[in-house]
Amino acid sequence: MNLPTPAIVPERGAQRLPRLALLLFCAAYVIPGLFGRDPWRHADLTAFGYMASIAQGHAPWWQPAIAGIPAEGGLLPYWVGALAIKALPFLEPALAARLPFGLALVGVLCLVWYSCFHLARTDAAQPVAFAFGGEAHAVDYARSLADGALLALVASLGLLQLGHETTPELMQLLASTLFLYGLAAAPYRRNKARLAVLLALPMLAASGAPAVALALGLGGATISRMSRFEEARRLLPWLLGSTLLSLLCAWLLDSWAWRVGMDAYLEEPLRWPSLLAWFCWPAWPLGLWTLWRWRRYWSHRHVSVPLLGFAVPLVASLLMNASDRALMLGLPALAVLASFALPTLQRGVAAAMDWFAVFFFSALALFIWVYYASMQLGWPPKALANVRKLAQGFEPSFHPLALLVGLLGTIAWLGLVRWRTARHQHALWKSLVLPAGGVALVWLLGLSLWLPVLDYARSNRPLVERLHKLLATESTSCIAAPGQTPSLLAALEFQGGWQVDARSTLDKSPCSHALLLADKQQLPAIPEGWSLHGFVSRPTDRTQHYLVLRQRRD
């Protein structure tokens, strides 16, 4: 006997989000940050360095390297970026490498929508049928929930920065979402589902996450074997074959690496819970509500499939010292899981989410506008003083297009707030439209109005320019930088244009100059055979600077 589902949805509740509005949401989320900026420090710049090393012929395809230090993990993302650089020689290399990763984010958004759509079409996920009719139609209900899943993903705070970087994790995210789609679509799209799972797990392994691929493959095989749908059970050999292919790819590309570690919890016991609290907001409370309200349906596809897709990255994050990049792989599945809470959400909870989103994101938008006004008009003066203190040497510039984009985004937000706070809004996705719109607004304003100062503060270009000025009169054959971060090495090599040696110690280095990181309060001992030539530092670094050394020629 079929149990009555907890979803009670009238026909008017299964409205779909207007397609134009949905496209504008996605555009406001994806496009900002693609253009007009350098690769930012750490993972973004490091990944670009490996891509550029291949594209510019500094390293072979099978071993991308920065300053002689080879990359670890899967090679597929670096190949994608390098191919884009070579295929688009008329674009700046960083922009060319970023474009396929922007398309990958678009693919993630599309796959989340279709995954939720197919899961919501199953009989077990459908709302209760009314005695005299008037309940939501199956396809309309599925479309409305899919819109909600997409909004839940856009609203997820953890995806905001990491999802816009040019890093291997974005390819991993695309692969894990493709796997989610393959499981979800199996009963309805046989060929597409088989192709999706066959590609997803090897792509995941080739991008540096073979253990996650193995766990997803085995979990997906278990779900398919126990499925009530014959087509889903027929997916089992394809899942097992994809799992074997992922192991083969990991072995051929040397993607296996020991990343398990729990030592960070000794210093910060609450690190992982606090990461979950903000990184997965607002999807995690909705996901928990789904598990509670649909607790009798955990064995059904609309709960078990996204639960698997989130549980594997969740455990991976726990075992990897609360890794946010591992946790990001579960956000698409969590968004799908959260969407099934919408038909059961109480009105008071939805209203609380709305008002929190209105006040929080409106305050953030006002904050961005105040500091933008201070940079352009000099008022309020305290805000401008804070900018100059945090980003020493930054000179504001006016860009009419950025101002126009900021104004249009703010007007759209005000219209969205007015629409949502009007009476008689019945759509299932209504409680997620303001959180998603607020995230898109803040990202749009930050990466338009604040882009110059953010790029100045978060890229390594100002440091490279200061180093160029210091060495302007020097004949610099190469720069030794042993022990420095890969992102700094990438900046020196591909933004500064120097040959960089990071493998030799200073006493054996053939380079004429060297960089050493030092605390500003204490000058370290200068190595024998070298003399101090000067100091350089990032504009935002208050505690450390780099010693520029020159090798003495006796």
pLDDT score recorded for residue 1 = 39
Below-70 pLDDT ranges, the chain: 1-3, 131-132, 423-425, 553-554
pLDDT score recorded for residue 129 = 78
Global pTM reads: 0.95
Categorise residue 531: left if φ over 0, alpha if ψ from -120 to 50, beta otherwise.
beta
231-274 tens-digit pLDDT: 999 999 999 999 999 999 999 988 888 788 888 887 888 899 99
381-418 tens-digit pLDDT: 999 999 998 888 899 999 999 999 999 999 999 999 99
CA distance 149 to 114: 10
What's the residue count for the chain? 554
CA dihedral 541, 543, 547, 548 (to 10 degrees): 10
Sheet of 530-536, strand order? 500-501, 479-480, 513-519, 544-551, 530-536
Give the class (CATH, top level) of 461-551.
Answer: alpha beta
Pairing assessment for the beta strands 544-551 and 530-536 based on DSSP bridges: antiparallel
Q: Could you give the C-alpha distances from 322 to 209, 262, 286, in angstroms and in order?
A: 16, 8, 22
If you search the block for the tokens 């929930």, which residue do you land on?
145
pLDDT score recorded for residue 554 = 58
Q: HSE-up of 145 (CA within 13 Å, CB side)?
A: 33
Residue 515: count of CB within 10 angstroms of its CB: 24
Domain boundaries, the chain: 72-344, 347-458, 461-551
SS3 content of the chain, % helix, strand, coil (to 5): 60, 5, 35
Residue 12: count of CB within 10 angstroms of its CB: 11
pLDDT score recorded for residue 3 = 57
pLDDT score recorded for residue 385 = 92
